[in-house]
């Protein structure tokens, strides 16, 4: 999969705020994602992001 900074992705599970959408702030071995609902930022390994992305 090809990811770029600024892309919006949807994950399978919701964030506690209710949002499915995340903005990619950083790519590489780890991804920094920002929730589009509450602006919370997290870092996840690339493998976990690719596994949990919604394919629609």
Reported as a single tens digit per residue, the pLDDT across 9-50 is: 999 999 999 999 999 999 999 999 999 999 999 999 999 999
Confirm whether 36 is domain-assigned.
yes
Asked whether the beta carbons of 32 and 26 are under 8 A apart, the reply is yes
pLDDT for the residue numbered 11:
94
* Longest Cα–Cα distance in the chain: 27
DSSP 32: E
Confirm whether 19 is domain-assigned.
yes
pLDDT for the residue numbered 1:
76
Distance of alpha carbon 9 from the chain centroid = 6
**Parent domain of 38:** 8-52
Confirm whether 1 is domain-assigned.
no
Confirm whether 37 is domain-assigned.
yes
pLDDT for the residue numbered 7:
95
> Model-level pTM?
0.88
Confirm whether 3 is domain-assigned.
no
pLDDT for the residue numbered 19:
95
Give the residue with greater pLDDT, 45 vs 1: 45
Counted domains in the chain = 1
* Bridge partner residues of 23 (DSSP): 8, 34
Q: Please report, for residues 7, 20, 27, 39, 52, the alpha-carbon distance to residue 2 in angstroms, rounded to integers and kept in the order given.
A: 10, 19, 10, 23, 15
């Amino acid at each position: 999969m090809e990811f770029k900074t600024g892309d919006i992705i949807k994950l399978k599970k919701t964030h506690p705020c209710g949002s499915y959408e995340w903005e990619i702030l950083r790519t590489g071995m780890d991804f920094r994602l920002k929730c589009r609902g509450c602006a919370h930022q997290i870092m996840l390994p690339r493998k976990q992001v690719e596994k949990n992305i919604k394919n629609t």
